[in-house]
Structure 1
Amino acid sequence: MTSLREAQSFRSGPIALIAETEADDSHEQLFDDGVALTKQYEATRTDLDCLATAICKLRRVVELTPKDHPDTAPRLSWLDASLFLHFETTGDLQDIAEAISVQETALELTSEGDPNRAVRLANLGASLWSRSERTGDLHDLVEAISARQRALELTPEGHSDMASRLGGLGASLRSRFERTGDPQDLAEAISADLRALEHTPEGHPDMAWQLTGLAMSLWSRFERTGDLQDLAEAISLNQRALEITPEGHPDMARRLANLGHFLWARFEHTEDLQDLAEGISAQQRALVLIPEGHPDMALRLANLGNSLRSRFDLTEDLEDLAEAISAQKRALALIPEGHPDMALRLASLGTSILSRFGHTEDFHDLAEAISMQQRALEITPEGHPDMALRHCNLAVSFEARFGHTGENQDFTEALSHCRTAATSTFGPPHIRLQAAKHWAGLLEEFNPGSSEILTAFDTAIRLSTLTTTLDQVLENRYSQLVDTSGLALQAASAAFALERVDKALEWLEQGRCLVWRQLTSLRTPLDDLRRHDSHLAESVVKLSKKLEGAGSVRNAARSAMLMSEKVSLEDQARDHLRNAREWDELVTKVRATPGFERFLEPSPWHTLLPYLPEAGHAIIVNVDTRRCDAIVLSTGRSTPLHIPLPSFSLAKCNQYRQDLTNQLQAHDYRERGGSVATVLEGVDKERGIRKVILTKNRETSVQDILQGLWTDLVKPVLQALEIEKTAPPSTEVAPRIWWCPTGPLSFLPIHTAGIYANEGAECLLDYAVSSYTPTIAALTDRVRNARPIEKATSGLFMTCQPNAPGASHIPGTTKEVQFIENLVTKEGLRSERLEGSTITPAICLDSMERFNSIHLACHACQDIANPLDSRFLFHTGSLDLLAILQRNLKNADLAFLSACQTGTGAEELPDEAVHLAAGMLAAGYRRVVATIWAIRDEHAPHVATDFYQYLLDHRDPADGSAFDGTHSARALHHATQQLRIRLGDNSDQSLLSWIPYVHFGY
């Protein structure tokens, strides 16, 4: 964690104490002189001798004042103030020790109820905090927080010191977060900083201090979460603070330096060169303004060094690196022994010297870098959040030496430090996760047969779940997962190489669909727990609803918010964090209950077997750079079946995906009147993609893609399972297959793989009926929790929205639901149809509770950043997924989403099931019909009619009055085949018309 502190003390200040002075003492002039000199120095910060004289005078007057004199406490407070100012300038620990002692004596002399007690508590807190910043003493910091909290409790609402005391408490809480990593402290700090700012009127001299304090806290949260919105606001606040800081003000340098560091941090994430240039400029200007010997000099030099090293990484200009190392060495020389920043300075300098070794290969540099990283590790206190980072730095250094010497000891050291960092219980999860991935990578490259690879990946998969905790809103959880996307696939590939199919299956289940699994875990049926302990079960239900709602809050642009809105938002975030912590404690309590030891834990692979569907196969296909494999789980088979796919590859998968994307874009453009010659040129202009001109010679057709999937992936699986072609093809007797694709394969239509040329034509549809599932557990959960359909809810609710505001006109939806209604009514089944303005989101939700099946013929909007905000568009508003999840749809059975792209995922997160279909499964529906790209308005009514006709024709004769989606996968198989027959050929245009319909679930 980067150390960056705003040394603003948030003391009430000497001016607040002058009112305590009484003029009846014979030493009045001596005291007045000391006060005047202290105030003079505070205003200018230029003449240290002036302050030293003030301290001497105030010490003398304190010595001459009897302890029981009424002016003793005020005079002690002024001596404390002058000593504190001297410490701020020189960093002399004797000054701050004396200041604390003096202020403690003043407090002893201050009775309960004395109006000056609050200010003396606040000042004592400021001194203790300042000493803890210099020494790293956690006890001082705890005492500082306690004193500041007590001062705040004694401060009446509206008091002029309220803002400064809130800001002081925020600074102390932020410091404790930096030492312990407890996010609750940071949430409390941000809340205090916001309230401080809210209590500071425009034009107040403390405004810049309060702005800077909030900026620092938001910066700290950015370091923890990576939320760029926090960083952007921190930069904005710091810029505002600078704008109102007068030229020559002693805090100008500090604020310039902080702004420079913030801009550098944003460059590290966005690679915006302007940020880096402006950041370095601000840091250089700050250095010019800092007087020699100032305690802030070391920090400013070190941060400038980091920025210059970043510029070197970009430009490879060795002069930048030389300047960076020079600045960092000067910073190190200025740090006194025992300073809490010493380890960070050593580590940063070591990293820069290692960078120089990478270009010069001077082994003296490498030895020096390792030595510095070792010293940094030695002086980092046990339990410090930076401990894991120290080990990571050493691992990189030893790996560099191993790469040049080949010495086994260096490799062993690198592994050891990676292992220690990854398995540490302290430090940010993303640092430990990087260490675990590095640990696994080293073993795979240099010791590929080691069983320790399994331990390393086990650790990495566990840590990946900690980067997306429930205290974050969904949007942030998904952004965190972008960096770990594909980890489970890499782990599975390693497990296959070590012939551990069981581990591969376990990791593919546990390391994918993390947020989806969190959503479903919050909705886990609790019947067994309720029978055992109804109170505990009810606590779980109440808290899960709170977390579900809080997690769906959308990240809004805070810059445009009113201060009261920001305070409210941060209060919500603080409550969310507290609820997440309470959830962890509650889950631990449930797991301590006999019989519930694995409550909400991912199920071991073998527990999936008893709940597999009776007839069919669940197949998870792993796609990785090194190999591709399938794992099959089948009823009656006691172990997973491993099917290597040597002819398939990630490169092929990505190429098929790109080719299909091109075809879809071309198809869409043709539908809107573009010529073949200009199809991709037009797409390029509209979407800003790389320009590619398709020609008949170079074009990869949809048929080519489907044939490749068939030859390299699907047929080898069918052969291994000994599934024979049905002759003639029969929807009723064909076996079921549930596909669980991974990575970019999630975007390809496996269910229609085949050869569609007239000669040698065959396809998967001739062998099996296909469905998809986000994970195998998602499928088995539906089998495990299957319930008979309640007669009261049996039926179909339909709505069509041909003219939703902001969407194109889709007249086919009206025809679609009319066809369906005629069928259902004819069969005497319960149904209801509402369309246009007669249906509202609230009415639709009520209908979803009253009917076990729903057909939505409308436009849909998928929100990848916040899936719970994905929605169906109605004439009178929109129905979002969160609202659906919040309803008790315990009898939900079938959802037919006749809208475009309701089963399409997110390109950056292919394994997170970020689409409406998965959301409806999470809401409780057992099966969902969706689409993976746009569907044709003229075809949708016929597909829907054939689908429902099949369901009605295959009802259970024993209960013909029930509307049941059990045969929905076979019904969709039949309906799309009927459309295929109507289209009359296997041209790409025809294929693209019926392929997008897909079935999810049981």
Structure 2
Amino acid sequence: MAEAITSQQRAVELIPPGHADLPGLLNNIGSSFQCRFDRTGEPSDIAEAITSHQRAVELSPPGSADLPGRLDNLGNSFSRRLERTGDLSDITEAITSQQRSVELTAPGHAELPKWLTILGNSFSKRFERTSVLSDIAEAIASQQRALELTPPGHADLPGRLTNLGNSLQLRFDKTLSCDDLRIKFGAAKHWATVLHRQFPASPETLIAFETASISSFTLQAAAAACAFRRPDKAIEWLEQGRCLVWTQFNHLRTPLDNLRVSDPILAHRVSDISKALESAGSRASRSSTQAPMSEKVGAEEEARSRIYLAKEWDNVLDTIRSTVPGFENFLLPPSCTSSLQNLPDLGWTIVINVHKDRSDALAVRAGLDKPIHIELPGFSPEKAEKLCVSLTRDLVDSKLRMREVVADEEDGRGCKPVGSSKGTVLRDVLAYLWKEVVKPIFDALELSRSPSELPRIWWCATGPLAFLPLHAAGLYDKSNSHNIFDYAVSSYTPTVTFLTNRVRNIHRAPKDASGLFMVSQPNTPGLSRIPGTTKEVRAIQKRLAACEVRQCILEGDAATIKAGLKAMDDYSCVHLACHAIQNKVEPLQSGFYFHDGPLSLSTIIKKDLNLSDEAVHLAGGMLAAGYRGVVATMWSIRDQQAPQVAGDFYEYLLAEGRMGIDGAKAAYALHHAIQKLRTRCDNSSTSLLTWVPYVHIGL
């Protein structure tokens, strides 16, 4: 950078005064100084940038097509110095230059929306420092005009909607005008809708829904419905809000089995458009202002293609809903009545809404015409947050980690070796969950202790409660215990709709795909050794062979990504005994470590697996890939005890002369395996850390 600046300065010195290229050279050197300032923060660099940009503007002839851009660059330099010094005169100078830039720009110019956005942002910055209402009014006017000039599908549209929403929020905070809040909410919802439809793979989609307050507003709406004794509305609103995020995670996957029976041609169209939208959305968008011209053209073509596909998507859905009997609500958010249809026969699905206003449980099961409403006065999101913080700290102190922490820095099975806990944090968390959440629900549902056959419970929690081990709630004394295992077999579900869709569309894998595919990676290159995986799969292999169950094992360097994907196509069940990574920032990049690298969820999902049975380890994304259920762990597990749990799990699945692996029994199999592990342990904190992390998710 220093050499570039030196060369540019030398060029300016050598060019004769009045030369037509001088303003352009000065503009370039100003940009170079600003670029270096952005990296070094050296005040002299931004001062030089401003001086060069000012000279470039002064020497540009009136009417020059380059003058608006040079004025915009000058304004940006003043704005950058403001961030460094806080001098209010800099933002005033920036606004003056940017206003002149906008005034000199011809209507229809491609850069006009961008310059209007920058001008609006500058007015917004000054308002934050002065609270002068005329500034925020100018900011909103400029940002609204920029939005009006931005074509549908443009890569910068979400950002411009965000800027307008932020400015409206600033004015609302000052004036408490409901109109500003209404417009801001509408802009944020529009941003979320645009991203969700036209850029479905963008990681900003979830941020958009969060900005639109979809999540928090949904919880508040459900709390209000419970206050008015309308549990049906609470279920409906929770499903609508939570299904938005789940649909994003499912990556446009749609339930087409029934539609194929009624109208295979329309089903084929839905599938084709869905895959085209998925493919278009998976290509990360890039700001058109920074890309080369060839990439700008390509980005615009992709934007137009996405717009066309989005219209096609809407048209085919309208056609299905208006012409195919029984599909009037196809892919629409479910009503409470439809949510209560096709629930599993053997148990309860319990949705728990946690909001600062109140906390409630909503219990549904097959045969009920409305949810059972159970108030939870002793629980709150603040308490849930405190429990999460305490548990996380205890796991860290015990050399464990929660599932959202990146795993590639750690040892053990996807993380550090399990340590021990001398405290009572986990026991206290489980006791509090039992007393204030689980036991009040069981009492209201009149569930008895130690029934002849344990019913199923599907937990669907909201807010911070979703990160706590409801499935293990109970009182664990040194010599006795009173806990959830005496009452029911627990599973989790992301939404009620997910569960009903699985019941309604359940299908068995073809006979030629029945069986278990196993991966063992005891010595993954670059990661810690987990030798117990070899013992684990060998024990399973022996059990499968005795029952004549079809199987495939990939071990060591044979366990490549390519070979693994092929086996996933050929086998209905998967057991992955290997390191895993959970990517909190980009969930679809979570995955499993094979010998030649990580196999990501996005890759697995794109395989469009037509599966029905059970997968072991790493949870929600595998449901989106097509598996009916997943056994996973909330934090690290002991390498020496994992083979015991796996052996007991498959012992149950293969018992009673069953032909093949019965995935429908997976939750009971895990319950059986954990109960056996508990008999080998005591109720100490260290023992609790050993078996509590195991969970079943799905049907």
Shorter-chain TM-score above 0.5: yes
Q: What is the DSSP-based 3-state SS (H/G/I as helix, E as strand, rest coil) of the residue aligned with 2:203?
A: helix
Q: Find out whether 1:825 has 2:545 as its counterpart.
A: yes
Task: Give 1:255 deviation, angstroms.
Answer: 3.9
* Residue aligning to 1:919: 621
Contact 1:622 1:630 in 2 (8 A): yes
Task: Give 1:927 deviation, angstroms.
Answer: 0.9
Residue 427 of structure 2: which of 703, 710, 727 is its match? 703
Q: Find out whether 1:715 has 2:413 as its counterpart.
A: no
Go from structure 1 to structure 2 and tell me whether the alpha carbon gap of 1:521 and 1:500 turns closer, same or farther (over 3 Å shift).
farther
* Residue aligning to 1:597: 328
Residue 875 of structure 1: which of 595, 601, 616 is its match? 595
Q: What is the DSSP-based 3-state SS (H/G/I as helix, E as strand, rest coil) of the residue aligned with 1:486?
A: helix
Residue 284 of structure 1: which of 93, 97, 101 is its match? 93
1:519-558 alignment, distance < 5 Å: 520=250, 522-554=252-284
Return the alpha-carbon distance in structure 2 between the equivalents of residues 263 and 601 of structure 1: 49
1:838-849 alignment, distance < 5 Å: 838-849=558-569
Contact 1:936 1:993 in 2 (8 A): yes
**Bigger helix share:** 1
Q: What is the DSSP-based 3-state SS (H/G/I as helix, E as strand, rest coil) of the residue aligned with 2:458?
A: strand
Task: Give 1:502 deviation, angstroms.
Answer: 1.1
Residue 607 of structure 1: which of 311, 325, 338 is its match? 338
1:324-723 alignment, distance < 5 Å: 345=138, 417=179, 421=182, 431-432=185-186, 468-483=196-211, 484=213, 485-518=215-248, 520=250, 522-554=252-284, 564=294, 568=298, 571-595=301-325, 596-668=327-399, 701-723=425-447
Return the alpha-carbon distance in structure 1 between the equivalents of residues 196 and 116 of structure 2: 35
Q: What is the DSSP-based 3-state SS (H/G/I as helix, E as strand, rest coil) of the residue aligned with 1:613?
A: coil
Q: Find out whether 1:310 has 2:41 as its counterpart.
A: no
Q: What is the DSSP-based 3-state SS (H/G/I as helix, E as strand, rest coil) of the residue aligned with 1:652?
A: helix
Q: What is the DSSP-based 3-state SS (H/G/I as helix, E as strand, rest coil) of the residue aligned with 1:873?
A: strand
* Residue aligning to 1:220: none
Letter in 2 for 1:793: A
User: What's the C-alpha RMSD, in Å, of the aligned pairs?
Assistant: 4.7
Q: TM-score, normalization: structure 2?
A: 0.77
* Residue aligning to 1:3: none
* Residue aligning to 1:990: 687
- Greater CA drift, 615-624 or 831-840: 831-840
Residue 258 of structure 1: which of 72, 76, 87 is its match? 72
Return the alpha-carbon distance in structure 2 between the equivalents of residues 953 and 244 of structure 1: 85
Return the alpha-carbon distance in structure 2 between the equivalents of residues 582 and 207 of structure 1: 49
Contact 2:23 2:55 in 1 (8 A): no
Return the alpha-carbon distance in structure 2 between the equivalents of residues 283 and 716 of structure 1: 61
Go from structure 1 to structure 2 and tell me whether the alpha carbon gap of 1:258 and 1:498 turns closer, same or farther (over 3 Å shift).
farther
Q: Find out whether 1:943 has 2:641 as its counterpart.
A: no
Go from structure 1 to structure 2 and tell me whether the alpha carbon gap of 1:543 and 1:207 turns closer, same or farther (over 3 Å shift).
farther
Contact 1:521 1:600 in 2 (8 A): no
* Residue aligning to 1:274: 83
Letter in 1 for 2:93: Q
**Percent sequence identity over matched residues?**
39
1:164-313 alignment, distance < 5 Å: 248-249=59-60, 254-255=68-69, 258-259=72-73, 274=83, 277=86, 281=90, 284=93, 287=96, 307=122, 310=125, 313=128
Structure 1: any 5+ residue segments left out of the alignment?
1-41, 45-201, 213-234, 315-319, 330-343, 352-375, 404-413, 423-429, 435-459, 671-682, 684-694, 903-916
Letter in 2 for 1:934: S
Q: What is the DSSP-based 3-state SS (H/G/I as helix, E as strand, rest coil) of the residue aligned with 2:341?
A: helix
Go from structure 1 to structure 2 and tell me whether the alpha carbon gap of 1:555 and 1:467 turns closer, same or farther (over 3 Å shift).
closer
Q: What is the DSSP-based 3-state SS (H/G/I as helix, E as strand, rest coil) of the residue aligned with 1:517?
A: helix
Q: What is the DSSP-based 3-state SS (H/G/I as helix, E as strand, rest coil) of the residue aligned with 1:599?
A: coil
Return the alpha-carbon distance in structure 2 between the equivalents of residues 640 and 257 of structure 1: 62
- Greater CA drift, 712-721 or 968-977: 968-977
Go from structure 1 to structure 2 and tell me whether the alpha carbon gap of 1:290 and 1:397 turns closer, same or farther (over 3 Å shift).
closer
Letter in 2 for 1:580: A
Task: Give 1:968 deviation, angstroms.
Answer: 0.4
Q: What is the DSSP-based 3-state SS (H/G/I as helix, E as strand, rest coil) of the residue aligned with 1:740?
A: strand
Q: Find out whether 1:933 has 2:635 as its counterpart.
A: yes
Deviations 1:275-303, CA, capped at 9 Å, x for gaps: 7849963751674899999768xx99998
Contact 1:263 1:278 in 2 (8 A): no
Deviations 1:403-436, CA, capped at 9 Å, x for gaps: 8xxxxxxxxxx66x479x56xxxxxxx64166xx
Task: Give 1:939 deviation, angstroms.
Answer: 1.7
Q: What is the DSSP-based 3-state SS (H/G/I as helix, E as strand, rest coil) of the residue aligned with 2:242?
A: coil
* Residue aligning to 2:458: 738
Go from structure 1 to structure 2 and tell me whether the alpha carbon gap of 1:637 and 1:392 turns closer, same or farther (over 3 Å shift).
same
Return the alpha-carbon distance in structure 1 between the equivalents of residues 101 and 235 of structure 2: 62
Go from structure 1 to structure 2 and tell me whether the alpha carbon gap of 1:654 and 1:388 turns closer, same or farther (over 3 Å shift).
closer
Return the alpha-carbon distance in structure 2 between the equivalents of residues 708 and 307 of structure 1: 50
Deviations 1:438-497, CA, capped at 9 Å, x for gaps: xxxxxxxxxxxxxxxxxxxxxx8x996566334343312122133223221111111111
* Residue aligning to 1:24: none
Higher relative contact order (CA 8 A, sep 6+): 2
Task: Give 1:305 deviation, angstroms.
Answer: 9.2
* Residue aligning to 1:196: none
Return the alpha-carbon distance in structure 2 between the equivalents of residues 469 and 920 of structure 1: 23
Contact 1:611 1:784 in 2 (8 A): yes
Return the alpha-carbon distance in structure 1 between the equivalents of residues 95 and 22 of structure 2: 24
Residue 612 of structure 2: which of 885, 892, 910 is its match? 892
Q: TM-score, normalization: structure 1?
A: 0.55
Return the alpha-carbon distance in structure 2 between the equivalents of residues 291 and 795 of structure 1: 71
* Residue aligning to 2:11: none
Return the alpha-carbon distance in structure 2 between the equivalents of residues 746 and 569 of structure 1: 39
Return the alpha-carbon distance in structure 1 between the equivalents of residues 162 and 647 of structure 2: 60
Deviations 1:173-231, CA, capped at 9 Å, x for gaps: xxxxxxxxxxxxxxxxxxxxxxxxxxxxx99979989x99xxxxxxxxxxxxxxxxxxx
Letter in 2 for 1:634: R
Structure 2: any 5+ residue segments left out of the alignment?
1-17, 32-45, 106-111, 402-409, 411-420
Larger Rg: 1
Q: What is the DSSP-based 3-state SS (H/G/I as helix, E as strand, rest coil) of the residue aligned with 1:799?
A: strand
Return the alpha-carbon distance in structure 2 between the equivalents of residues 497 and 925 of structure 1: 37
Return the alpha-carbon distance in structure 2 between the equivalents of residues 658 and 479 of structure 1: 23
Deviations 1:576-627, CA, capped at 9 Å, x for gaps: 3432332222222222223222111122121132311111000000000111
Deviations 1:228-267, CA, capped at 9 Å, x for gaps: xxxxxxx9xx99x9699576225787446535776899x9
Deviations 1:373-430, CA, capped at 9 Å, x for gaps: xxx99xx99xx999999999999989988x8xxxxxxxxxx66x479x56xxxxxxx6
Go from structure 1 to structure 2 and tell me whether the alpha carbon gap of 1:894 and 1:309 turns closer, same or farther (over 3 Å shift).
closer
- Greater CA drift, 528-537 or 744-753: 528-537
